[in-house]
Structure 1
Amino acid sequence: MPGLGSRRQFPALIAEPDLVYLDAASGTPTPEPVIARLTAELRGPAANPGRGGHPWGRDALRRAEEARETVASFLGASSPDEVAFTRGATAAMAFLADRWAPAALADGGDILYCPDDHLSTVRPWLRLAERMRDRGVRTVPYRRDRLGRIDPDHFAHAASERTTIVVATDVHNLHGTRTELDALPIPPGASVCLDCSQSSGRFPLRLAESRAEVAVVSGHKMFGPPGTGAAYVRRSQQHRITVDRAATRSGPARHVSPLTDAAEEGSLDGVGAAGLASAAAFLDSIGLARIGDHLDRLVTRFTAGASRIGGVAVLGPPSETAGEPHSGIVAFSLDGQAGADVAFVLERRGVYVRAGDHCLDGPREDAVRASFHLYNDDNDVDRLLQGLAVAAERD
């Protein structure tokens, strides 16, 4: 069965027709509509959004705010002023820890976090707790099991009346497991920061309806240009943001929100904003529900085939327990073999996957990750399984 998005929409895949690219969780290829939008922006008036009052400057600002509206709608925000453009999810998470969280923790409190999550999600909060230790700020860990699932009982033991911020990952970057925030015993009054780097482009986010008050998004994992992303802060939380008035945009630009004033200091990357908005529109044109069903079917095909290969262990749930489709990210190991060796065998057969430390704290020598997306099809799954069968035959 073909992929939802034809390979013909992706120049990088056209250039290598025999390649099976299964590393979308690291970065997605750029589709033609996004390339066209970026090209149009670069060919157009070279004005700095919000700086000059001349027609070029006003038009650049208008396009940037239209891009904000598109991205806010895609994320399910209540208003465009709840979304700011950033240099990626890493920068967005660091911004939240540096400019939003200190006010929330002014009287002390605990930051609940998972040390098994992506380092870019974990480290900003460890640094913040160290800086605010004299105010009684602590980090309290909760754990995942080998399949990437959060234990609600362990989470409940970590949570307390001191819990002020809960840092959670929507879809785990190795296991592909999705966090059910509503199933976690989050203390009343605690604010939730959600890393949506792997879920944006795979699931409808509906942030305004979620338990998360703040969130981050990565552009290069959802068909946007590299170096783009977004920070979401619900309007009711924006009073906590520290704004440096001396660094905010000057000129005729209208004030959008404390979030945009603080997160978009200096010159706004209007080209990147346009590219991210184009990626959101591209995904909407296909439909996230269709994408989810497609990814669920590919992972089901893979896990069924992998179960027939001796020594292969899937390191994540085969399907989502909440009735939602699978994220399309699946990790596995091959008994007795290092993940890098398995990945090398697959690479020699034209199948690109991810091995290594997976940007996590701690050894993951055995784990290999395959991350499917809309351009993958049944043939890609079968090529992966054939390569795994060859790897399993090695001494």
Structure 2
Amino acid sequence: MNAKEIKKLFPILDQHVNGNPLVYLDSAATSQKPIQVIEKLDDYYRRYNSNVHRGVHTLGTMATDEYEGARDKVRAFLNANDTAEVIFTRGTTTALNLVAQSYGDENVREGDEIVITPMEHHSNIIPWQQLAKRTGAILKYIPLQHDGTIALADVEDVVTEKTKIVSVMHVSNVLGTVNPIKEIATIAHKNGAIMVVDGAQSAPHIKVDVQDLNCDFFAFSGHKLGGPTGIGALYGKKALLENMEPIEFGGEMIDFVGLQESTWKELPWKFEGGTPIIAGAIGMGAAIDFITDIGFNEIEQHEKELVDYSFERLKDLPDLTIFGPRDRAGVITFQLGDVHPHDVATVLDAQGIAVRAGHHCAQPLMKWLNVVATARASYYVYNTKEDIDALVNGLVKAKEYFSDVFS
């Protein structure tokens, strides 16, 4: 199935915005949803909406089977060993905070080190800043090369025997950099640290094998891979999760409650307090089915072709700066002369072209790039070369609109 055929499976893309056919280039922020996911959510609410686990009636059993079936889809999706290693969360942010608060508070002490990079999304900076404040640990950064990549020699220099946690994004949401997680994990483990991976931008686009990466935790969000918002998952090695305490307490996650003491359920449910995000998990399972059917070989090849075509089309556009390495995931972040990215995005929107403008929740990286903000086009399975042609034409019009800036 080619991209044009895939695009037809996304109802929202068949519309006009501001009198022009919609060109959606903002999938790094959130992806659109295929009809299979929309219908799965509709089916749940129409036919078997019920709470899970506790009920013995038919609807409850159906909901539980679908919910736990989605967990097994995530397990297979990441190649985890056991469904007990898959914790449903509200998304990547919640998952990373869970690790920082549960594992971090128990295992990090004053003088210990936490290592991240300047390219991280705020969701993979602030939890570690707060952990460092709570514990007196030291937050350290792996420096970036001039093109926004990581040199393993720098990882070797920064990670020491005092390091307890290394947390790095798999793919940059700004630069498109694909980080060498497996090699970084090896260095972390050699020094006695754990490896945490922000997989928000990798799970939808490249095949993830947590056993091959040998990471200790891996977090991702459903809404970036064609699933609903408000749902994601945390993978954690079973031995680590078993020794961690939950950070949310209430129904679902308890085994026995007394007047003074309570005990927790076994994995994975001890981390899923309250009524879980049932419809979200089921919808995310449907999204996983959808992209698995397409196949990651096809997805990666398609996005590589889009990136190559983007560089070919954009290289002759004067005054355009593209940030990040040439070898990258499907993200093109750029600046058009001295025109503010919000103004560029506004002109593009008037032509029906949706891009993201701002700091992309990566303000330390913006400082490193020496810019206040950038514009970003990000691709997914439904994007075509015609979408890129529209972007190029839109940028030409934007330059004409702000011609006084370039005169």
Q: TM-score, normalised by structure 2?
A: 0.88
Check if 1:348 corresponds to 2:350: yes
Alignment match, 1:177: 177
Per the TM alignment, residue 104 of structure 1 is displaced from its structure 2 partner at its CA by 2.8
1:335 paired residue among 305, 312, 337: 337
**Aligned AA for 1:340?**
H
Q: Could you tell me how far apart the structure 2 residues matched to 1:250 and 1:298 are?
A: 45
For residues 13 and 275 of structure 2, the distance between their equivalents in structure 1, rounded to whole angstroms, comes to 33
1:158–1:245: structure 2 CA closer, same or farther, 3 Å change rule?
closer
Structure 1 residue 251: Cα displacement: 8.8
The C-alpha deviation readout for 1:332-389, integer Å capped at 9, x for no partner, is 2222222222222222222111111111124543521110111111111111111222
SS at match of 1:9: coil
Equivalent in the alignment of 1:223: 226
Structure-2 separation of matches of 1:229 and 1:350? 30
Q: Is the 8 A contact 2:117 2:168 kept in 1?
A: yes
Task: State the 1:59 CA deviation.
Answer: 2.9
Instruction: Tell me how far apart the structure 1 counterparts of residues 166 and 230 of structure 2 sit (CA, whole Å).
Output: 26
**Is 2:301 the counterpart of 1:293?**
yes
1:250 Cα deviation (Å)?
6.5
**What is residue 164 of structure 2 aligned with on the other side?**
164
Deviations 1:209-244 (A, max 9, x none): 213110111111110101010011011322331137
Matched-pair contact (CA < 8 Å) for 2:355–2:377? yes
Query: Is 2:189–2:195's contact at 8 Å kept on the other side of the alignment?
Result: no
Deviations 1:39-91 (A, max 9, x none): 11111233211122333333322221111001111122111111111111111
8 Å Cα contact 2:15-2:22 kept in structure 1: no
Q: Give the Cα separation in 1 of the matches to 2:168 and 2:159.
A: 13
Partner of 1:37: 40
Counterpart secondary structure, 2:316: coil
Is the CA contact 1:334–1:366 (under 8 Å) kept in the aligned structure 2? Answer: no
CA distance in 1, matches of 2:117, 2:40: 38
Amino acid at match of 2:356: R
User: Do the aligned residues in 1 keep the contact of 2:79 with 2:211 (CA within 8 Å)?
Assistant: yes
* Residue 261 (structure 2) aligns with: none
Amino acid at match of 1:260: W
Question: In 2, are the aligned partners of 1:37 and 1:274 still within 8 Å (CA)?
Answer: yes
* Residue identity opposite 2:393 in structure 1: Q
**Shift, 1:330, TM fit:** 1.7
* Correspondent of 2:326 among 318, 327, 332: 318
Separation in 2, partners of 1:4, 1:15? 15
Cross-structure match for 1:307? 315
The aligned amino acid for 1:143 is P
Matched, 1:282 2:290: yes
- Counterpart residue type for residue 140 of structure 1: K
SS at match of 2:115: strand
Q: Counterpart amino acid of 2:318?
A: G
2:104 maps to: 101
- CA apart distance, 1:258: 3.3
- Are the equivalent residues in 2 in contact too, given 1:103–1:240 (CA < 8 A)? no
Alignment of 1:1-395 (within 5 A): 3=3, 6-16=6-16, 18-105=21-108, 109-133=112-136, 137-145=137-145, 147-184=147-184, 185-186=187-188, 188=190, 189-243=192-246, 247=250, 249=252, 257-262=266-271, 264-319=272-327, 326-362=328-364, 363=366, 364-393=371-400, 394-395=403-404
Question: Aligned partners of 1:284 and 1:4: how far apart in 2?
Answer: 18
Kept after mapping to 2: 8 A contact 1:241/1:258: no
Deviation at 1:266, TM superposition (A): 1.2
Flag the 1:18–1:266 CA change in 2: closer, same or farther, 3 A.
same
SS in 1 for 2:95: helix
Give SS of 2:382's match: coil
State the Cα RMSD in Å: 2.4
Q: How much has 1:108 moved relative to structure 2?
A: 5.7
Kept in 2, the 8 Å contact 1:81–1:256? The answer is: no
Offset at residue 245 of structure 1 (A): 9.8
Stretches of structure 1 lacking an aligned partner (at least 5 in a row): 320-325
* Preserved contact between residue 220 and residue 233 of structure 2 (Cα < 8 Å): yes
2:176 and 2:331 in contact (8 A); partners too: yes
Q: Which segment drifts farther, 298-307 or 384-393?
A: 384-393
Q: CA 1:245–1:173 in structure 2 vs 1: closer, same or farther (change >3 Å)? A: closer
Q: What is the distance in 2 between the residues matched to 1:141 and 1:251? A: 38
Provide closer, same or farther for how the CA distance between residues 88 and 172 of structure 1 changes in structure 2, counting only shifts above 3 A. same
1:244 & 1:173 partners in 2: Cα distance? Answer: 28
Q: Which moved more, 1:153-162 or 1:19-28?
A: 153-162
Residue 317 of structure 1 and its aligned partner are, at CA, apart by: 1.6
> Structure 1 residues 378-387 or 357-366, which shifts more?
357-366
Secondary structure of residue in 1 paired with 2:48: coil
Runs of at least 4 residues off by over 4 Å:
250-253
Counterparts of 2:5 and 2:93 in 1: how far apart (Å)? 28
Q: Identify the range of structure 1 (104-113 vs 157-166) with the bigger mean alpha-carbon deviation.
A: 104-113
1:382–1:141 Cα change, 3 Å: same
Q: Cα offset for 1:252? A: 9.5
In 2, Cα distance between equivalents of 1:27 and 1:233: 24
